[in-house]
Amino acid sequence: MSIAVIVLIAIGLSIDSFAVSVADGLTIRNLSLKNKLLIAFSFAIFQALMPLIGWYAGTGIAEYVKEVDHWVAFILLAFIGSKMIYESFYSDETIKNTELSFLTIITQSFATSVDAFAVGISFALLDFSIVISTFIIGIITFIASIIGLQLGKFLGKRVGKYIEIIGGIVLISIGLKILIEHLYF
């Protein structure tokens, strides 16, 4: 399989991580280099490991995973998004989202990479080089996440106090997009 095909797959898989990174960039008040690297690295690791796990799992559980992956991603993203919207109305302005918790970063990383598990199963069936594929997917997701965080930070300065609401709506919308794509297409 050509590198170009793997790059295109990696770009497709990284889109959800990019969108969530934009939402994170919108909501994190003090987006330090440490925060950017932690978030981008987490998204990249999960996005690269899920195809590897799927590749090893093979086809034995492919149909089971296909039936629930979109629901898992939707529920996790809707929960995080709803929590952000809720907190925008009820939390003290001085303590709003200076950093995301480690658990939130891991949850976002998992939710945006669930579909990559199924891609890993297809890699096994199509005899893709899993080492090269996971490396490319991880690098592209890392870059997309950094760009998304920067874009969110840039937009956040212009949006003002509605940042958390917009970020929450973006996360819920991504969850709905994943759900609708899997249910109807």
Res 94: pLDDT: 43
Q: Quick check: pTM over 0.85?
A: no
- Please write down the long-range contacts of 60-63, taking CB distance under 8 Å and 24 or more positions apart: 62/118, 62/121
What's the confidence (pLDDT) of residue 95? 42
- Please state, in angstroms and rounded to a whole number, the distance separating the CA atoms of residues 113 and 13: 8
* DSSP type of residue 38: H
Token pair belonging to 70: 């979109």
Instruction: Name the residue range of residue 8's domain.
Output: 3-184
Domain count, the chain: 1
Q: How far apart are CA 122 and CA 9, in angstroms?
A: 11
Around 82, how many Cα atoms within 13 Å sit in the side-chain half-sphere?
Answer: 8
pLDDT digits (tens, 9 = 90+) for 39-59: 999 999 999 999 999 888 875
| Regions of the chain where pLDDT drops below 50 | 93-96
